[in-house]
Amino acid sequence: MKVEIIEPHGLCAGVNAAVAKALSLKNVYCLHELVHNEIVVDELKALGYRFVDSLEEVPEGERVVFSAHGVSPDVRRLAEKRSLKVVDTTCPFVAKVHRAAKAFAGKGLDVVVIGDGRHVEVKGIVGEVGKASVVGSAEEAEKLHLPGKTEIAVVSQTTFDAGEVGRILEVLRRRYRVVSTAEVCTASKDRQEAVRRFDGDALLVLGSANSSNTRRLCEVASCRTFRAGTMDEVRSLDLRGVERLGVTSGASTPERFFDEAVKFLRNVPRHVAIIMDGNGRWATERGKKRGEGHIAGAKKLDEVLGWCAERGIRYLTVYAFSTENWKRPREEVDGLMKLFARMLKSKTGDFVRNRVRFRMIGRRGDLSRSLLKEVERLEKLTASFEREFIAAISYGGRAEIIDAVNRVKGPVTEETFREYLYAPDVPDPDLVIRTSGELRVSNFLLWESAYSEYYFTDALWPDFSEAEFDRALESYARRNRRKGGV
């Protein structure tokens, strides 16, 4: 997937100044969210900010910050009455709209505000005028009823969709003599235009769900859109099938979040494969039976599934039982087969809840009928889910290639040969991890791992920690995968 940064994006000058001013204060009140962004709001909360919806909640004489969206004169009067020390971070562009709306109303004109009537910015502008009509769409503009009026003044919410503002103005100009030009702010317009120009197959808008301008960027795009406000949301995006992803951000989204998200999107392996080695040694070191090592290994695998989900890893393949493992003592083999069946049964609820698709790669004919039934039941039940957990059971890389060769009809290319492998639609593993200090490939994913990165750790599989997993991912992220190129 190619990740393209859309320019311009992100913080506008008004928000930048508001945030810089707000960050220089501590333990103050703030009327509404300073800007509609959860990362900024959380940062201010850490500085002791208390966010309130009304000035009545602020004790007399205290310091209060007015948000970048602006406030109505009523609010200013109340602040004065309560002797509050005001720090005003209203965006200069919003303040300009306030002044214009007030001047029009002063001339006796009816003021129409284009925007979302529930947004605090629009409430502030309406409050400035005293009485104003709000229209949010061309349909609403058609229905606007101002008895006896032929002349109106129109202003706009600064972050509204510039295209929609144009369409609304067209309707209003047809119906009234409009004496003003309503415009969204340059920053919003430029960001929307850059999104409209993007011709990739999906767009990711970084910003909070309650941010009007962020939502607007999603609306103006002509391709599939995704929105994410936090790294957790970025990690859980389902970007399968996306070839060219454009990334932009709302006017209140911090650039450091943007950078982290882009870094993540460019570096997280889509497919991690693990050779879970060392269960037997782990058990022996503790004077336990080898079977107990495998039980501890299964528990670890359960944890790793959670780590992958949290980090947005789409595919996890684990080497659970190789074609060579049948040579192990009967008791151990039987114990492992029972463990697989038990785990698949007990994990069913989790797989369905977390939308994880299960599948098996390996020689199905080697499995007992009851285990194969369990495998196929779970595969069918989870077939439509997005994330994948792939268990290699009775698997060998050479066996997979031989099985493929025996099914091939006619000449093949590398691409068409892939169709004969066990899971042809699964992308090749980006990263293969092997635990227990062994530095071998051991017949695992021979065809698929041709260009995989390897990470070896001394930890025995039941001891494999989340910190070690992150070290593997960091090591992968730092590597320059040239795949034979320069």
Closest CB 338 distance from ligand FPP, rounded Å: 11
Phi-psi region of 237 (alpha: psi -120 to 50; beta: other; left: phi over 0): beta
| 281 touches ligand FPP (CB under 6 A) | yes
Catalytic pick among 213, 277, 279, 430: 277
Say how many CA atoms lie within 13 Å of 459 toward its Cβ. 20
Closest CB 468 distance from ligand FPP, rounded Å: 16
Is 228 in a helix, a strand, or coil? strand
Q: Which of 115, 278, 312, 335 binds ligand FPP (CB under 6 A)?
A: 278
d(CA 341, CA 167): 61
Mode of pairing for the β-strands spanning 50-52 and 431-434: unpaired
Q: Which of 208, 279, 452, 457 binds ligand FPP (CB under 6 A)?
A: 279
- Would residue 27 show up in a list of annotated catalytic residues for this protein? no
329 upstream amide cis, omega within 30 of 0:
no
| 396 touches ligand FPP (CB under 6 A) | no
Closest CB 283 distance from ligand FPP, rounded Å: 8
Torsion from C-alpha of 472, 477, 478, 480, nearest 10 degrees? 120
- CB nearer to ligand FPP: give 162 or 320: 320
- CB nearer to ligand FPP: give 129 or 399: 399
Q: Which of 298, 304, 472, 473 binds ligand FPP (CB under 6 A)?
A: 298
Give how far Cα 336 sits from Cα of 129, 279, 363, 393, 433, Å.
75, 11, 16, 10, 21
Near ligand FPP in 433-462, by CB under 6 A: 436
Closest CB 386 distance from ligand FPP, rounded Å: 20
Q: Which of 229, 246, 291, 297 binds ligand FPP (CB under 6 A)?
A: 297
Closest CB 443 distance from ligand FPP, rounded Å: 13
Catalytic pick among 325, 354, 366, 443: 325
- CB nearer to ligand FPP: give 256 or 330: 330
Near ligand FPP in 120-149, by CB under 6 A: none
| 276 touches ligand FPP (CB under 6 A) | yes
Question: Where is 39: in which H helix or E strand?
Answer: helix 38-46
Closest CB 319 distance from ligand FPP, rounded Å: 7
How buried is residue 270: exposed, middle or buried, by Cβ count under 10 Å (0-12/13-18/19+)?
Answer: middle
Q: Which of 200, 229, 254, 280 binds ligand FPP (CB under 6 A)?
A: 280
* Dihedral sign, Cα of residue 407, residue 413, residue 416, residue 419: positive
Question: Where is 371: in which H helix or E strand?
Answer: helix 369-381
Using alpha carbons only, what angle is made at residue 143 by residues 141 and 145, rounded to the nearest 5 degrees? 100
What pairs with residue 63 in β-bridges? 85
- CB nearer to ligand FPP: give 58 or 344: 344
Find where tokens 């439509």 sit.
384
Give how far Cα 112 sits from Cα of 77, 183, 484, Å.
24, 13, 62
| 274 touches ligand FPP (CB under 6 A) | no
Closest CB 302 distance from ligand FPP, rounded Å: 9
d(CA 31, CA 16): 18
| 391 touches ligand FPP (CB under 6 A) | yes
Q: Which stretch binds ligand FPP (CB under 6 A): 136-144, 273-281, 309-317, 470-478?
A: 273-281
- CB nearer to ligand FPP: give 137 or 325: 325
- CB nearer to ligand FPP: give 247 or 275: 275
Near ligand FPP in 311-340, by CB under 6 A: 318, 320-321, 325, 336, 339-340
Which residue, judged by CB position, is nearest to ligand FPP in the bound state?
280
Site string for ligand FPP, 84-123 (x = CB under 6 A): ----------------------------------------
| 371 touches ligand FPP (CB under 6 A) | no
- Would residue 37 show up in a list of annotated catalytic residues for this protein? no
What is the size of the binding site for ligand FPP (CB under 6 A)?
Answer: 21
d(CA 391, CA 370): 17
Mode of pairing for the β-strands spanning 177-178 and 453-456: unpaired
d(CA 109, CA 152): 6
Closest CB 280 distance from ligand FPP, rounded Å: 2
Q: Which stretch binds ligand FPP (CB under 6 A): 12-20, 45-53, 219-227, 291-299?
A: 291-299
Nearest to 132 by CA among 415, 149, 485: 149
How buried is residue 337: exposed, middle or buried, by Cβ count under 10 Å (0-12/13-18/19+)?
Answer: middle
- CB nearer to ligand FPP: give 86 or 339: 339
197's CB contacts (< 8 A; 6+ apart) are none
> Would you please indicate which residues are annotated as catalytic (active-site) residues?
277, 325
Query: Which residues lie near ligand FPP (CB under 6 A)?
Result: 276-281, 294, 297-298, 301, 318, 320-321, 325, 336, 339-340, 343-344, 391, 436
